[in-house]
Each structure stands twice: as structure tokens, then as C-alpha cells.
Amino acid sequence: MKQKKKVTIAQGCALVIVIYSILAVCFYFIGGEQLKYTPSQEYKATEKSTTTIGEIRRNMTVMQTFIAQTDEVQRVSLLFATGGKQNPGVALIRILNMANGKVLAQKNVVLSSLANNAYTSIGFDQPVKVNKGETLGLTLNVPNSEEGKTISVWFDAGNTFQGGGAWFLNGVKQQGTLCIIYSGRDKILFGDYYWDLVIGLGILLAIYCINLVVKQKKGKRSFGLNLIATFLKYRFLLHQLVSRDFKTKYKRSVLGVFWSFLNPLLSMTVQYVVFSTLFKSNISNFAVYLLTGIVFFNFFSEATGMGLGSIVGNASLITKVYIPKYIFPVSRVLSSVINLLISIIPLIIVMMITRTPITPALLLLPFSIVCIIAFCIGMSFLLSSAMVFFRDMQFLWNVVSMLWVYATPIFYPESILPQKYIFIFKLNPLYHFIRFARTIILNGVSPEPKAYLFCLIAGFLPLVIGAIVFKRTQNKFILNL
């Protein structure tokens, strides 16, 4: 029988660098515009609308100047007055650079499509690239208007445009400001320096890998080499523990593993009926929104619940044989990962039923999954350590878990909390993991770069803290088991 050839440290390091390079390229193209720009807020000229400027006839030019607050202008909105009629013709909207008079963008708007006394949003074919702080002009013309069959716009005579600007009629400055809104997006430095960061991190990774290979050849020890050696030595045991925990959960169950598929669907059905019918939730695509939160929170609840008793539950083994104790909480979390992956199947089915677009951004979902796994392992380290010395932790954790589910926007929108208290949500690690997943699933795009950073911090900071606490207390476990 031919023996399977082992992979050397050097080969493993080379494979890691190749995978890193492939992922960096794929991430750039899948992440798309979200890695380069972030949506800005809307800039509104005024909250009031006092009167209209009168009929806009041919050979009349209405212009509003304003100072750009964004790097790109994507759309503008004007408060039109149509007199309640279906007016013929088109209006020409232009964006000008006031420094040189250059036309940056223009759009024809059919007059009959305008609503009376309501803002109409006008998007441009391509975002208008501008420089923050420069003065722009929005012009409006109705070239073929007829008397009594044209439009007007509202203005506020008592205010000026926030941030500066004025409105003009045929080049003559008027008092007040037109009722307009504009929005755009801002550049992100991450997008401009993406490849620099990728190359820099790649060089650091290569240096670390070379260092591992050199130390191995010289027979020296390092954290990385010790970690690899420990994993290789105990991977069979880890596999057996994960398999045991998963099989034990469904032992003598009629439906068995199918409960991992059925449980999130039943939870979603009940909560969907309650919150969409009785409480009249107005969240778009509420079924997918709700199920995404349920899948992630159920994994967190199960993984930490199992990790809590991982040391106490294996006391007979720990007191008789030397085994790295951290394997037990890790194995409990990894066995819950199997349920998480199965639970994603009904989520995809519900996406198909609700016709939620399935885009390449879905390939970014594993990032959120890896981060929540790291978070659950860190929490399991902390909880399992505390459980050894304080057995009431299991009852206390049940209460904390119940409070945690209500502190996480699973069945309600995050907008329910006033903006000044939104930091409370951001202190909750599960908020970042679930929000990241919902952005991918519901919007079909990559989250903004800072969402990746928040997920990394929320996932791996508790892991580091948990590992430190576990390491410092593990030698006392045997005295309290």
C-alpha cells in the first residue's frame, strides 16, 4: 500500500502564499465599488418651501450654485410644481463646474413624469466626479415650453443653501435657495491603496513563512511551529471529538441531522408571523432579514452553550490523560459549525423563494462565518474556564443569552434605536457579524472596508483574550474538577 506523502513546512508556506494571492485578486473584483467609495449623506438646501418661481418658459435658465461636499455627485432632487397637469416636453438638467463653466453631466427629464409638489430624484448615467470644496451649478431649462403648459420649482426665500450657494434666474442673483437635495459618494483611501496594502501584507507573510522554514531547519522553536506541530499531533483526536459531539446531539432522534435544517425554518416561521403580521414590521424582504439573524445567533447560542461545559464535561478524561485542554472547547465550537453550514441551506432556499438576487458577493460570506467562529471559540475559552471555578455560570449564561438575543437586531431594524445611541449596537460583536452577512445577502454587494475591520476586531480580540485567560487558569482546572 502506497504511503501518503506528507506536506513539508516549506510546501505549506508556499501554498499559503499562493492562496493569499488568489484571494486578494478575487476580493478586489468581488468587492467592487464598495472598496473604493462610501455613500455620503443627503445634502438638503432647506426644510421649507415658501413659493414657486413661476412658470419656466423657453429661453429661461434657472441655476442653483452650491459647494460640493462629496467626491462624486450621483443624483439630485428638485421640488417641482406641475400645476396638476401632464405637461408636454422635457426639462434639461445640467451640472456645471462654476470655475470654468464646463458641463460635467446632463440629463433630460420628461415633464409628464414629474409629480406635483413633490421631490423628483434625477440620477445621472455616470457619477459626476468633483473635488470637495469646489463650486458647482445646477441649471434647469425647458427649451420647448408653452405658456400654461410648463413647470415650476419651489424655493425658500428666507434661507440660503447649507454650505454656501445662491440661486439665479437668467444670470440675476435671487434671494433664498431652491428646494433641492443632492447626494453622492466619497472616496475611500483603502481603494486607492488596496494593491499597496496587498503587496505589503504579502511581503510580511512571505518573511514570516521564510522565518518558519529557517527555524525548523535549525531546530529552533516558535509559536507558529508549536501550533502547527500540536495541530498535526492531535488532529485525529480533534476529529473524533467533533464527530462525537455532533453525533451525540442527535442520538436517538427520529429526524436526526434534519433538525439542523428544520430548526431555523420553524423559528423564522413563528417570528415572521408574529413580527410581520401582529407588529407590522416594514423591513424589506423580512423573511431573509430575519432568517439571517436567526442562523447566526443560533450558532452563537449553541456553540457557547456547548463550550461552556466542555472542560467540566470531560473531567474524567482530563484527570487521567494529558491532552491539551483547549482542544475541548474548540471541538465543541467546531461541531456546532457543522450545524451552521447545514442551516445556511434553508437560508439559500428562502432567498430563492423570495427572489433575492444571488450575486458573486455571496462568496464573501465565509469571512463573517470565520469571524463569528473565532468569537465563539474565544467566548468558549472564557466560559469553560469560569465554569470550572463557578458552577453557577451555566445558569447565569442562560440569562445572559436571553438578554443578548433582544440586544441584537434579529427581528427588529437597527434604526429602531436613536442615532445617538447606535454605539450600543456597535459594542455587540454579533451586530457586526449579522450586519456584514445581511449586506451581502440582501444588498448583493460587499460591505464597506470598515465593516471588515469591525468583524476582525469583534471576532479575534475576544479570541486572544479568551486564549490568555484559558492558558493562565488551565493548570488549576484539575484541582477543581
Domain span at residue 289 reads 224-480
Say what the pLDDT of residue 281 is: 63
What 3-state DSSP class applies to 294? Answer: helix
* DSSP string across 179-233: -EEEEEEEE-HHHHTHHHHHHHHHHHHHHHHHHHHHHHHHT---HHHHHHHHHHH
Do 304 and 281 belong to one domain?
yes
pLDDT of residue 124: 85
pLDDT of residue 321: 77
pLDDT given at position 19: 93
Cβ atoms of 156 and 5 within 8 Å: the answer is: no
Separation between Cα atoms, residue 261 and residue 339, nearest integer Å: 8
CA 297-300-305 angle, to 5 degrees, is: 125
Per the CB < 8 A criterion, the answer to whether 407 and 290 are in contact is no
The amino acid occupying position 436 is F
Q: How many CA atoms lie within 13 A of 138 on its CB side?
A: 27
- 267 with 368, same domain? yes
8 Å CB contact between 109 and 150: no
- Grid cell locating 425: 449596537
The whole-number pLDDT of residue 231 equals: 82
One domain for residues 159 and 212: no
Q: Whole-angstrom Cα distance, residue 481 to residue 7?
A: 39
Q: Are residues 195 and 182 in the same domain?
A: no
Please identify which residue in the block is written with the cell numbers 419651489.
Answer: 154
141-155, 367-381, 413-427, 458-472: lowest mean pLDDT where?
A: 413-427
**% the chain with pLDDT above 70:** 92
pTM for the full predicted model:
0.82
User: Residue 411: which of 295, 254, 247 has the closest Cα?
Assistant: 295
For residue 174, the domain's CATH number is 2.60.120.820
Lowest-confidence region among 107-111, 377-381, 388-392: 388-392
- pLDDT digit string (tens) for 191-216? 888 999 999 999 999 999 998 888 88
Q: Are residues 343 and 231 in the same domain?
A: yes
For the chain, how many structural domains are there in total?
A: 3
Say yes or no to pLDDT of 1 above 60: no
297: enclosing H helix or E strand: helix 286-308
Q: 250 with 141, same domain?
A: no
pLDDT of 2 above 60? no
pLDDT tens digits for 281-339? 677 888 889 889 988 998 999 899 988 988 888 888 888 777 888 888 999 999 889 88
Is there a single domain that holds both residue 210 and residue 282? no
What phi, psi does 358 have (nearest 5°)? Answer: -100, 110
What are the pLDDT digits (tens) for 324-342? 888 889 999 998 898 888 8
- Residue 409 and residue 138: Cα distance in Å, rounded? 40
Lowest mean pLDDT among 158-162, 208-212, 343-347, 445-449: 158-162
* 431-444 pLDDT, tens digit each: 999 999 999 999 88
pLDDT given for residue 364 in this prediction: 93
Question: Considering 127, 160, 186, which residue would you say is the last residue of a domain?
Answer: 186
Q: In terms of domains, do 229 and 152 share one?
A: no
Same domain (yes/no): 133, 80 = yes
Same domain, 116 and 24: no
Task: Provide Rg for the chain, Cα atoms.
Answer: 30
Claim to verify: residue 114 and residue 261 sit in the same structural domain: no
- Start-end of H helices in 421-476: 422-426, 429-443, 449-473
Do residues 138 and 76 make contact, with C-beta atoms less than 8 angstroms apart?
yes
Q: Which residue type is seen at 310?
A: S
pLDDT band, residue 250 (cuts 50/70/90): low
Beta bridge partners of 81: 152
What single letter denotes the amino acid at residue 152?
S
Q: Dump pLDDT digits (tens) for 225-247.
A: 888 888 888 888 888 888 887 77
Q: Is the pLDDT of residue 76 over 50?
A: yes
Q: Of 220, 236, 266, which residue constitutes the final position of a domain?
A: 220
Give 253's DSSP letter: -
Looking at the fold, whether 474 and 450 belong to one and the same domain comes out as yes
Measured CA to CA, the distance from residue 123 to residue 121 in angstroms comes to 6
- Residues 68, 134: contact at Cβ < 8 Å? yes
